[in-house]
Structures are given as C-alpha cells and as structure tokens.
Amino acid sequence: MTRKSQPQRSRSYDSEEHERGACEWCEYALVITLATILLIGVSALTIFWTFFYREGYGWADDIPEKQFNLHPTLMIAGFITFSGFSVLLYRICRCFRRIYVKLLHAIFHALAFPCIVIGFLAVLDFHNKKGINNFYSLHSWIGFVAMGLFGLQYAVGFFSFLLLLICNKGTANFRASLVPIHAAFGVLTFVLGVCACLTGLTEKALFTLGADRYSGLPDEGVIINAIGVAIIAILAVVMYILSRNKFRADARDMRASVDL
C-alpha cells in the first residue's frame, strides 16, 4: 500500500512542479513583453508629441524651442528607455552567459549616456539663449542629482568591468562587494530619473499650455499625461520584477558572473 502510494505521490509532486514552472514562464514572458512595449512605446509617444504638437527638433535654428524639444525626448530615452532595458536585462536575461549579459548592460548604459548629456546641453543652451535662470526648480534639482548618480554609476560599472578584463580572479572578491552597492544605487538612479521626467513633463505642460488651458485637458495635455502614465507604469513593472526573486539569477549564476 505504501509502496504504491509513493509513485503516485511522486507523480503528483512532478505535476505540480511542472505546472508551477509553466506558470512562472508565462509570467516571465508576459512581464518581459509588457516592459518592452512600455519602454519603446514611451519614447515613440514622446517623439510623436514633439513632431505633431511642438514642430520637431533643431539646434542652431531660428526657433530655440525646437532645440528645447531635444531635452524631453533624449532624457526620456536615456533615463527611462535605455536605462530601463539595462536594468531589466541584467536582472532577468536568461538566454546568455552572464559575461554577455554584463556586456549588454554596459551597451544600454553607453546608449543612455550621450542621450542624457546632449539633452542636458540642449536645455542649458536654450535657457541661456532665452535668458532663463538655470537650476531653480525642483525638476532641475532632481535631474541634476539623477545625472550625477548616473555618471557615478557608469564610472563604477566601467571600472569594475575593466578589472574583470584585466585581472579576473584577483579582483573577484572586490567586484562581488560592489554588486549590492551598484545595484542599490542603480535602482535609486532609475527612480530619480522617473521623478525628473514626471516633474519636467508637468512643468512643460504648465509653461506651454498655461494652467487654464491645461485644466481643460486639450489634446496635447492628454498626450503629455499619457507619457507620464506610461513612465509610472514602467516604474511599476521594473519594481515588480526587482521584487520577484524568481526572476533573479540563482546563487550559482551570480557567483559564476563574478568569476566570468
């Protein structure tokens, strides 16, 4: 009786394990799909808003506002789209060896870096041309801190990866000690980037449309709000992924990633 029940119990456990594994993979695929759509969609929607309502882009142009238009587009691309992909790839990518995941992580950060720099220079030059004071608003303060942390994170990540290439075994413990610090400040930088983008969109809506017109929710106001909601949705998805240990590489993979 006992011997017969053991195979049945074993088959039951295998079935539950298989079902649980299938559900986890469905959740994994759904979250990745949703995150990809949101990360690409928010930049696409920003570009649409700029061309349809703000007359496109420019630099040395008779219309300084076209130069300013680079600021929201590039900051959203840098702080949200490219940084979001960088965070998610490092967290949940299971298709490649960890060394290649690190390389992809660095590539997306490298794509975000010029976006943030050019976006910052665009608004700084626009303010100087228009005689507008710099760094007076909460948006600019948050953005300045986010840029500083992003630059620091990029330097630390590059330094760690350089040590990996030069002296792998000898620096393994040091690089392993940097991982939790780098990860924590990476999340903080992403959250600050989200805050900077949201406050910047609010400023742009109020300064451009005016409080009275914006309160009437014109079509452009709806688009600006939709961009903000998409950014909040991205933050929610990223935080959900970071909170799920099932998406994290297991301990052996993490140890291997330090040695690779």
CATH of the domain at 202: 1.20.120.1770
Q: How far apart are the first and last CA of the chain?
A: 51
Burial 42-55 (b: 16+ CB within 10 A, else e): bbebbbebbeebbe
Whether residue 93 is contained in a domain is answered as: yes
Return the pLDDT at 120: 97
Whether residue 141 is contained in a domain is answered as: yes
Whether residue 180 is contained in a domain is answered as: yes
In angstroms, what CA-CA distances link 103 with 113, 133, 182, 227? 15, 40, 16, 30
* Number of domains composing the chain: 1
Whether residue 11 is contained in a domain is answered as: no
Return the pLDDT at 176: 77
Distance (Å, whole) CA 74 – CA 85: 15
Whether residue 82 is contained in a domain is answered as: yes
Whether residue 15 is contained in a domain is answered as: no
Q: Print the domain residue range for 128.
A: 20-257
Q: Is the pLDDT of residue 37 over 50?
A: yes
pTM of the predicted protein model? 0.85
Q: Is the pLDDT of residue 256 over 50?
A: no
Distance (Å, whole) CA 162 – CA 168: 9
Whether residue 161 is contained in a domain is answered as: yes
Residues 224-252 have pLDDT tens digits of: 999 999 999 999 999 999 888 777 654 44
Return the pLDDT at 13: 41
Q: Is the pLDDT of residue 253 over 80?
A: no
Contact present, 106 and 135 (Cβ < 8 Å): no
Tally of CB atoms within 10 A around 254: 13
Return the pLDDT at 28: 83
Return the pLDDT at 141: 97
In angstroms, what CA-CA distances link 124 with 13, 54, 55, 237? 62, 19, 20, 32
Whether residue 75 is contained in a domain is answered as: yes
Residues 202-212 have pLDDT tens digits of: 999 999 999 99
Q: Is the pLDDT of residue 187 over 90?
A: yes
Return the pLDDT at 173: 77
